[in-house]
């Protein structure tokens, strides 16, 4: 178990919602995802509420992703967090987005 529950990106208390939705790093990642409509992450106090809403989030056609992008973004936010925390390997928001988009296309 980890005793330090501070976010590796910003130092705030780490919660699921913080890591995946509300951290400044997560917000930067979400802002870079080419969604067809604008989302306000403040509308989602819990991950469950975001999961429900995300079923209608679609990517702009040029990116070639027709399925739901939500799971790919949160998965890559988690991977980026773990690489930084456990291996001291930082990744930018742009790299995190790129990996999410590539994996979603695959």
d(CA 56, CA 50): 10
17 with 45: CB under 8 angstroms?
Answer: yes
Alpha helices in 1-106 (DSSP H): 16-17, 24-32, 47-54, 70-87, 93-105
Q: How many residues bind Zn ion (CB under 5 A)?
A: 5
Which of 65, 71, 76, 79 lies closest to 34, judged by CA? 65
**CB closer to Zn ion out of 59 and 96:** 96
Contact stretch for Zn ion (CB under 5 A) within 1-9, 34-42, 62-70, 77-85? 1-9
Tell me which residues in 6-65 interact with Zn ion (CB under 5 A): 7, 9-10, 12, 23
**CB closer to Zn ion out of 9 and 101:** 9
**Angle in degrees, CA 95, 55, 64, rounded to 5:** 50
**CB closer to Zn ion out of 23 and 33:** 23
Rounded least distance, CB 105 to Zn ion, Å: 28
Tell me which residues touch Zn ion (CB under 5 A): 7, 9-10, 12, 23
């Amino acid at each position: 178990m980890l005793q330090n529950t501070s976010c590796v990106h910003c130092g705030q208390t780490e919660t699921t919602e913080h890591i995946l939705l509300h951290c400044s790093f997560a917000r930067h990642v979400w802002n870079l995802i080419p969604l067809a409509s604008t989302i306000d992450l403040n509308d989602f106090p819990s991950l469950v509420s975001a999961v429900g809403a995300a079923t209608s989030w679609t990517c702009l056609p040029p990116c070639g992703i027709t399925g739901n992008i939500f799971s790919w973004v949160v998965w890559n936010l988690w991977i980026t967090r773990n690489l930084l925390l456990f291996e001291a390997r930082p990744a930018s928001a742009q790299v995190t987005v790129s990996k999410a988009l590539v994996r979603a296309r695959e």
